Amino acid sequence: MFKPVWIAVAAACVLVSGCSATRYPALPTWSADAILAMDCNGLRQARDVALGTERQIANLAAGGRAERPRLYSTTRADADRAVQARLASIDAALSAKTCPA
């Protein structure tokens, strides 16, 4: 009697996990104090991470339809906006600290 219910629950779990597994990577926001507290090497490393995330987003968007995020995942626009905000704050901190290139 309960077997069809468990099969339906298992199928729903597989469906939901498959849809949520593909999502655009998102970078959390940093406070201005946290960014200004970093040294030049830390800022460069954070910039490299942000650029890598930007490439991941572009690769996911260029992939086939089955590879693109869907349902409740982060939208590409939100992910792009977060990366651009992170890069802008890192670049501003790098120029404020006058870090050598």
Distances (CA, A) of 47 to 63, 68, 90: 24, 25, 7
Query: Mean pLDDT across the stretch 18-47?
Result: 80
Examine residue 65 and state whether it is found in any structural domain, yes or no: yes
pLDDT of 74 reads 66
31 domain residue, yes or no = yes
The reply to whether 64 falls in a domain is yes
> What range defines the domain where residue 76 resides?
3-96
Q: What is the pTM of this model?
A: 0.68
- Residue 97 in this model has a pLDDT that exceeds 80: yes
Domain count, the chain: 1
For residue 35, is it within any domain?
yes
